Amino acid sequence: MPGNGTLLWEEELVWAYDADSVFDSDNEVPIAVFPEPCVYREAAVAALTRAARPWRLVFESSSMAGCLSAAQAGFAVRPVARSQLREGLRVLDLSDGMPPLPNVQFYAFANSTSAAARELIAAVEKSGRQARFHMPAHW
């Protein structure tokens, strides 16, 4: 648990791309990411660098909708948590020449120790532990 945060859930980070477009695995990977600092961006760049996979930043926005739209248009590849995939997107993987991405962890940080804050964190944590997410056994 970093700092005073409470781990809510952990899930797989994946590469999202337009479901109807052909991904060109032979060229630079065009990526759409949030501005720095961004955990998804850092993970994507690190994975591509480790795999010696050339990439270029083609879209940067602080809007998740904007980044996902760039991916859905076939303009860019977007790293996202699996639960953030939407209709019209598919996952790119090793068979597409894309390196694996790490899992991401979602934390709650609260300055308040009120009963309401604790109850809200507990409710979100319970929701995050549902089957669509993976919680490591050691948490």
**pLDDT, tens digit (0-9, with 9 covering 90-100), for 74-95:** 999 999 999 889 999 999 999 9
Residue 33 maps to a domain: yes
Task: Report pTM.
Answer: 0.78
Residue 87 maps to a domain: yes
**pLDDT, tens digit (0-9, with 9 covering 90-100), for 118-128:** 777 777 667 66
Residue 21 maps to a domain: yes
The label of the residue with tokens 């990411």 reads 33
> Quick check: 19 and 57 in contact, CB under 8 A?
no
- Who has greater pLDDT, 12 or 130? 12
The whole-number pLDDT of residue 106 equals 77
Residue 80 maps to a domain: yes
Count of structural domains, the chain: 1
CA–CA distance, 58 with 30 (Å, rounded to integer): 6
The CATH number that applies at residue 29 is 3.40.190.10
**pLDDT, tens digit (0-9, with 9 covering 90-100), for 29-79:** 999 999 999 999 999 999 999 999 999 999 999 999 999 999 999 999 999
Residue 4 maps to a domain: no
Residue 17 maps to a domain: yes
- Taking phi first (over 0 means left), then psi (-120 to 50 degrees means alpha), and beta for anything else, what does residue 81 get? beta
The whole-number pLDDT of residue 101 equals 97
Give the residue numbers spanning the domain of 79: 13-100
The whole-number pLDDT of residue 130 equals 60
Residue 107 maps to a domain: no
Residue 112 maps to a domain: no
